Amino acid sequence: MAVDEQLKQQLKDMIVERLFLNVAPADIPDAANLMDEYKIDSVNLFEIVVGLEEEFGLTLEDTDFSTETFSTVDNIAAFVDEKRS
């Protein structure tokens, strides 16, 4: 499994676990709009942000907040990659 695929899987696991979604992590398409497909609201998005900090070791800056960044697993993975590099 390539690193980015592994990262996406970790992100999906985190999202499903933290949001108590009734879906298998692997069934979340990489490019699916999380807000549209899984009805992610501000409370859910906050949980994802906390998950990125606690489980992926990131520190988010004010400028990191945009709906585009958190809209899909692909985008979140790219964001995590960028923050780590």
Partner 1 sequence: MVGLPESVAVIPGPVPLHAVVHGCACSPHPPWGLLFCDPFAEEKKCAHRVMVEAARAFCAADLTCVRFDYRGTGDSPGEFGAATPEQWVEDILAAVAYARQEVGVPTLGLIGLRLGAALALQAAEATEDVDFLVLWEPVINGKQYLTQNLRRSFIKAMLTDEDKFDAGSVRQAHEQDIFDFDGYPISAEMRRQIESLDLLAAPPEFAGPSLVLNITTKEQPGEPYVALGEALGGRVMALRQEPFWSRIGLIEAQATVEATEIWLAEQQAAWMKDG
* Interface residues toward partner 1, by CB under 8 A: 17-18, 20, 41-43, 45-47, 49-50, 54, 60, 62-63, 65-67
Closest CA to 61 of 44, 77, 79, 47: 79
User: Based on CB atoms, which residue is closest to partner 1, 4 or 56?
Assistant: 56
- The smaller minimum CB distance to partner 1, of residues 7 and 21, is found at 21
Least distance from partner 1 to the Cβ atom of residue 2, Å? 27
Q: For the residues of 11-53, what is the DSSP string, one character each?
A: HHHHHHHHHT-SS-GGGS-TT--HHHHS---HHHHHHHHHHHH
Shorter beta-carbon distance to partner 1: residue 6 or 67: 67
Q: How far is CA 45 from the centre of its chain?
A: 9
Q: Tell the smallest beta-carbon distance from residue 77 to partner 1 (Å).
A: 19
